[in-house]
Each structure stands twice: as C-alpha cells, then as structure tokens.
Amino acid sequence: MDSWLWAVRAFKSRSQATSAVKAGHVRVNGDRAKPATNVKVGDRVVVRGGIVEKVLVVEKILVKRVSAALAAEALTDQSPPPPPRELTVPIGMRDRGAGRPTKRERRELDRLRGRT
C-alpha cells in the first residue's frame, strides 16, 4: 500500500506514505489499511489529508516510482472538487495593517490553529 501511494505520487516520500497509512488516514474499500496491504486493480483508496480527501481507484499496480505521466495512468482520481475560495473561512488571518499581534492574541491564534 505505502509503496503504491508513493509510486503514484500521492505522497512525496515513501516514509510519509507509511506514516499516513499507520496513522489511519488511508482506507482501502472502506477498511483501514496497513502499510503492507496489497492493492488490486479496481480497489478504491481514500486518502485523508487535513480537510481534503482524495478518492483514487487503482488502474495499474506499481512497485517503483515512475514518471508523472505513467503514474497518472495507474489511477483514476474520483475526488470531489474542492470548495470555492469564497466559502472557505480563513482562520487566524489578521487585517492588513493591523500591526503586530500581542502576546495574548498570538496565544489565541495558536490555540485556534491547534498548536497548543
């Protein structure tokens, strides 16, 4: 599983793909995947990354990383389109020219972003 995700360029490195699979962000046909899970042609792979969710259908089995053109042939992307920018709410954005945030405002922004 992790090598296929890396080969089709869903992740920049194989270690990132392995970490995502171990963390439970990857599902194959609705079931949680393990790094060693074998994929078959026709499998539906769902990769969650933050807010966006990629839905990939396996068309070809790849073991090694190949060119982008060949990687695109190995999958069918059925991901829903991203929401328009007008509907997304910017979290923690300050008005231009509002000045530097105070220590209290910075702590509130960090708490809002989930950093602490």
Task: Give the SS3 label for residue 69.
Answer: helix
**Is 62 a residue whose pLDDT tops 70?**
yes
Residue 52's pLDDT is 81
% of the chain with per-residue pLDDT over 90: 66
The set of residues, in sequence order, having a beta carbon less than 8 Å from that of 101 and lying 6+ positions away, is 94, 109
- pLDDT for 3 equals 93
- In 3D space, the residue among 1, 97, 81, 17 whose CA is nearest the CA of residue 49 turns out to be 17
pTM: 0.71
Taking only the tens place, the pLDDT of each residue in 1-36 is 999 999 999 999 999 999 999 999 999 999 999 999
The predicted model gives 64-83 an average pLDDT of: 90
b/e burial code for range 28-41 (CB count within 10 A of at least 16 → b): beeeebebebebee
